Structure 1
């Protein structure tokens, strides 16, 4: 039975009105016959998608057309043209637009094969339907998610039209309006391409699964469970919010929906124990955003990544596990330091329920999630088939468990001499989700078993219908964004912009990996400020990920990188959609809440750079247990140092020098080097000793600031120690020619080019490498230039140049051998090439790469 302590956690301060922004936040709430009609359409949409995922055999292009027709029709019915318009009625113009908007997708459905057969000879009506579909889609996307993505799509279409007038670096011959529409509409290269395919299968089903799970009350259960375990500790409600939101976000399709669901419970509790409104909203925003990184669902982006990369699903979620753990740990550390700094205590233990009974009370709600993981990971079901079984399983478990628990509690109440139907009433209230609990508060008490069964089935049916409708409502903004992203992808494939963007990124970065990563991160965040995660990832994976791969980044790491920063836009000022939702619940300023969320998420901005420079974190390649364990331990301590830097507090308040020292320590600890990690530990140890001295001084005499000379000494140490350590870890390329050995200190990310010229065939071959952070050479590409024979005819037709993408293989030693007719050089960055001079008669040269400190301690 629910107790007073349960009510403390579930009802405290949750009756305040909530202002929600983000995906689907401005939907109309229409009642009467029109509202019922919209409900029927939304439920039919969900049932259609569920049927097609497991039973239906509709061709893929037809499924996309029907999906888009539902999406466009519902958006014009649910979303007003402008935010200030009334939301309790639908204007006649929107009813007309809804009817007109579905004409384009339905025409595609019925006449797709005819349009394919007459490719190149499209009719005027084909062109008109294409224009109608594009315009309707752009307007629907503007209503659902805002103007950013539609404006971006229009810019791309203008780029395709005016390509002949563009600068040479991005210019092309230009395309007519008819050619652009013909590429975007009656083919699967544009609107009906891969983005909409992903939205109509994986994304919709897992958004629907999350909506159904929310209706079963799992969000309340996870929050109560986390609160029972952590609520009594310092800053306990915030730590509970982090875990509950991360668990809920792991199978929810939207960070904003996650904030709106769990935040109504966690944010008031955080405010109650002493967190400021902005900090409470920031914690919830950071935690809900992090939930999108947590396997198995990862906001449905894991399945999109499977489609984009061809990498198996199990490998993707396995790779995402350790970064997600580090990210969660970073938020928890920041929350803990903030609570210590502000002296925020937890909720008294007597006000919290015991952990084990809370765990067992509704453990059945986790069965669908466990079943989903089993089907995806162990049974190797496809994602669509797994969701097809998981959604009915969630509904079935909710019904069976609800009735079983109700009967058990009623009989137990009767055995104790009480009214059995009072026990049934309380059980019903506990099983009902918090959204439905308030609406049922005024209902008459139960008096018979027949009434009990009727009400139980009625409640379950209501949750079923609303869960299906909620899934459709939450999914349509994402689907519209994916279809609009298809316009952008179509323009990229039509104009070849993808290859040009790779060249631009390489030009801007100068071939330096760190610069390319920074530019990619900035682009992902800017795009993510107004674009849902899935669409953002699809666009950035098409534009930027190939350039990172060309620089030697493993494909999985490159795609994870753009995925991470696309999601982090939900916490990044000034927009931060997730922060706007949390600000409405916390009654705080949205910009301040977004800033707090950004600070609590600081670890997440570092982790992508960690796994790019050390793919072992993603379990890529030959992973050694000791290396992996050390990497995780040093990474956890590194994010702990970041939390100290962020809050300015450890054992006591940290001054500017100590915070700078902890920043350097964090940087050292996240570097993939054992020696560098030891230096980071040493720097943290120095700060810890300093903090001990300050604590003892405060305890004995009150606070006594360190002397001026001590501050200067520590400042010099903070600057010089990391500089010396980083210098000693720089890679050194050693060239052993037999008769002489010479070396060159190089920076990680710089280029090394080996050139070999064969004097008979006059074929010049360049192997280009990048110096890695592991003190190795990463093969990037091979370029062959022929002055005579030696290359295929098609290569000579392209000015005698043949470029082959590198293997990405890493080398710490490269042995070479040259004959009498050969010559070879090595070039570091843009320096002059240096010709090899092997010992006479041997023709042998060996390149070795190690770190500078190994030249002094070779053992």
Structure 2
């Protein structure tokens, strides 16, 4: 009876978490009658349009941005109600209607799409009037800004819209601000002309990258998920790691890393992998709060993984003006080192609690799982081949990999039906249904990214009107020229903004405001910070906001599945993610971690291993456990190991070493000393746990 009740609680929590995903990404309305065809057909058309752009359709980039935004705005107003809370006032119930698309919202959706398309419809006329918009331009441009803020409020919440309004107000009232905040200001003509009628605002770099590249990768991920790859990754991870100490938690780390390839959302990642891993972690002894927190930490880190990194990798490449592969190269060591530290962290928790893994009989068989899902790896491997060997553009690589995936999806059910002796025709129809559902899901998943990049473009546009230098001066004043304080200010601001902004929008806003300032002010302090390092710094702290209390939505989703308290879960998840917070400081002060100027593969591997040592030492110090419970002096020594891995050049100069890489070996030797100090206590702890287990068995 208790098992039935427990399963009911798990199902109830899972359903709650799934509703959170739907609220975040998939819209809230489930229309009936003829209206139920509107969203699927428009979403399918959007996906087909984007695939056409990557293959045979040639359009000017302004047309591409305009059509991309028009699709997104239309889907938002027909999918998301005006208000989430039920409105019971007669005549106003349509404001929260979820069972139909009110005619008001349908009209707004059509009008919003028309306004987004205006720059394409009157392309030549607007180009001839640059800097001198007429009355029609002003009216449509102004309405587009307002309707974009409303669309943003419906999808990603009010924070990004409020930030856009604040920056807009600042653009007009800058001359009336105190001296240290004063800004020359702009006219209404200049504001609307630049923000809504050129490619320096709403239609700027972020939405161009969203339309040109990001859509294809989100679509690829949605199709992979519909094909069944998500379940395959989880089963594969469990079959490999489930039998080891704390095995389900280690499997969660691996499966979330793999799922991060096909999901740009921390919450969706939590629900996809946490459905299986959280109950398994609880089964082997993890407390509910810690099981949920581990899932939050690993799912949040899914956005760090190259080649996709949510949507940020492509935007970073455009902003920094580096080849896409160079961005992936720079992001690789921090991302993988973060996951290695997570593996170690789950091992620490399992050691503290004296856990064992699951029995072999409770786990999937590795070779059966691998043989049953090997075809899911083919499109991923082909994508990597396209990016690395012939070095095709990211959009071309994604398109070709998607075509391979579509072929697999079309035939997989038919081949399975033939093997099982069932209807082959029904298998082909199932494949067609999966492709259709994947196309629709890919477009609907893109809605939040597209509108966030467009709305963030308003902030970027205002900054380019002359605010950039002012932001640099403000940061310099607040930090008093101290680089460490400057980094702390940027990190804190990213965390605060990230509580209300999705990761991509948070990165765009913070990078446009602070990345150039970081590089400039660090240079003034005599410290060279590459632009890619500053951008990745903003990106990492934007991701950490997904599990930062009190708003961290990923923590709420995991807590719903684990039946734990959301705030304590978020706090615990953030404590686990502190080692991710250390990484940006590591690569700011030690750009070798980003492989800047390093082209030797053996040296890159050496740096990766040493970075893993540093992140694991930091995790051990902050969690109070290495191989046994830390004593104060051992904790201080672990922090010293981490500091050596942070700044091998500083310690090399301090010790008079010509080759600062030798300091890495000093850090490893010091870690060995700590290991030797704790080994006797670790044996004693293990023996006491075995004795307790034996007594419990009696």
Q: Taking structure 1 as the reference length, what is the TM-score of the superposition?
A: 0.72
> Contact conserved, 1:665 with 1:680, CA < 8 A, in 2?
yes
Aligned-pair Cα RMSD in Å: 2.5
> Contact conserved, 2:133 with 2:189, CA < 8 A, in 1?
no
Write out aligned runs for 1:618-633 (5 A).
618-622=594-598, 628-633=604-609
**2:177 aligns to what?**
166
1:307/1:232 Cα in 2 relative to 1: closer, same or farther (>3 Å)? same
Task: Spell out, residue by residue over 1:88-142, the C-alpha distance to the aligned partner (whole angstroms, 9 max, x if none).
Answer: 2333332232122222112222112202212343222211111111111000000
> Contact conserved, 2:610 with 2:664, CA < 8 A, in 1?
yes
Instruction: Find the partner of 1:569 among 525, 545, 567.
Output: 545
- Of the structure 1 ranges 635-644 and 201-210, higher mean CA displacement relative to structure 2 is found in 635-644
Q: Distance in 2 between matches of 1:142 and 1:78?
A: 13
Asked if 1:608 is matched to 2:567, the reply is no
> Contact conserved, 1:54 with 1:384, CA < 8 A, in 2?
no
More strand per residue: 1 or 2?
1
Asked if 1:185 is matched to 2:196, the reply is yes
Asked if 1:226 is matched to 2:237, the reply is yes
**2:92 aligns to what?**
none
Task: Return the offset for 1:292.
Answer: 1.5
Write out aligned runs for 1:771-810 (5 A).
none
1:659/1:163 Cα in 2 relative to 1: closer, same or farther (>3 Å)? same
**2:571 aligns to what?**
595
> Contact conserved, 1:501 with 1:544, CA < 8 A, in 2?
yes
SS at match of 2:584: helix
> Contact conserved, 1:199 with 1:482, CA < 8 A, in 2?
yes
Task: Return the offset for 1:627.
Answer: 5.5
- Of the structure 1 ranges 27-36 and 344-353, higher mean CA displacement relative to structure 2 is found in 27-36
1:625/1:217 Cα in 2 relative to 1: closer, same or farther (>3 Å)? closer
| Number of aligned positions between the proteins | 652
> Contact conserved, 1:46 with 1:471, CA < 8 A, in 2?
yes
**1:73 aligns to what?**
74
Q: Distance in 2 between matches of 1:584 and 1:52?
A: 40
Asked if 1:149 is matched to 2:119, the reply is no
**1:545 aligns to what?**
515
Task: Return the offset for 1:682.
Answer: 5.7
**2:533 aligns to what?**
557
Instruction: Find the partner of 2:503 among 528, 533, 556.
Output: 533
Instruction: Find the partner of 1:586 among 558, 562, 569.
Output: 562
Q: Distance in 1 between matches of 2:276 and 2:605?
A: 36
> Contact conserved, 1:207 with 1:253, CA < 8 A, in 2?
yes
Q: Distance in 1 between matches of 2:74 and 2:282?
A: 41
- Of the structure 1 ranges 63-72 and 216-225, higher mean CA displacement relative to structure 2 is found in 63-72
> For structure 2, which runs of at least 5 residues remain unmatched after alignment?
1-6, 86-95, 523-527, 652-660, 690-698
1:339/1:251 Cα in 2 relative to 1: closer, same or farther (>3 Å)? same
> Contact conserved, 1:289 with 1:571, CA < 8 A, in 2?
yes
Instruction: Find the partner of 2:678 among 665, 682, 691.
Output: 691
**1:58 aligns to what?**
59
**2:443 aligns to what?**
472
Instruction: Find the partner of 1:241 among 244, 252, 255.
Output: 252
> Contact conserved, 2:266 with 2:302, CA < 8 A, in 1?
yes
Task: Return the offset for 1:473.
Answer: 1.1
Q: Distance in 1 between matches of 2:275 and 2:333?
A: 29
Q: Taking structure 2 as the reference length, what is the TM-score of the superposition?
A: 0.88
> Contact conserved, 1:638 with 1:665, CA < 8 A, in 2?
yes
1:360/1:110 Cα in 2 relative to 1: closer, same or farther (>3 Å)? same
> Contact conserved, 2:348 with 2:627, CA < 8 A, in 1?
no
**1:724 aligns to what?**
none
1:163/1:360 Cα in 2 relative to 1: closer, same or farther (>3 Å)? same
> Contact conserved, 1:160 with 1:175, CA < 8 A, in 2?
yes
Task: Return the offset for 1:561.
Answer: 1.6
Please identify the structure whose Cα radius of gyration is greater: 1
**2:658 aligns to what?**
none
- Of the structure 1 ranges 26-35 and 315-324, higher mean CA displacement relative to structure 2 is found in 26-35
Q: Distance in 2 between matches of 1:173 and 1:246?
A: 47
Task: Spell out, residue by residue over 1:191-249, the C-alpha distance to the aligned partner (whole angstroms, 9 max, x if none).
Answer: 11111111112121111111111001001001000100000111111111111111110
1:41/1:633 Cα in 2 relative to 1: closer, same or farther (>3 Å)? closer
> For structure 1, which runs of at least 5 residues remain unmatched after alignment?
1-9, 411-419, 422-451, 703-859
Q: Distance in 2 between matches of 1:610 and 1:510?
A: 22
Task: Spell out, residue by residue over 1:462-506, the C-alpha distance to the aligned partner (whole angstroms, 9 max, x if none).
Answer: 111111111111110111111001111111112x11122122223
**1:782 aligns to what?**
none
Task: Return the offset for 1:176.
Answer: 2.7
**1:273 aligns to what?**
284
> Contact conserved, 1:335 with 1:600, CA < 8 A, in 2?
no
**2:654 aligns to what?**
none
Task: Return the offset for 1:626.
Answer: 6.9
Instruction: Find the partner of 2:428 among 438, 441, 457.
Output: 457
Q: Distance in 2 between matches of 1:119 and 1:273?
A: 66
> Contact conserved, 2:415 with 2:424, CA < 8 A, in 1?
no
> Contact conserved, 2:278 with 2:561, CA < 8 A, in 1?
yes
SS at match of 2:16: coil
Q: Distance in 2 between matches of 1:79 and 1:39?
A: 14
> Contact conserved, 2:590 with 2:646, CA < 8 A, in 1?
no
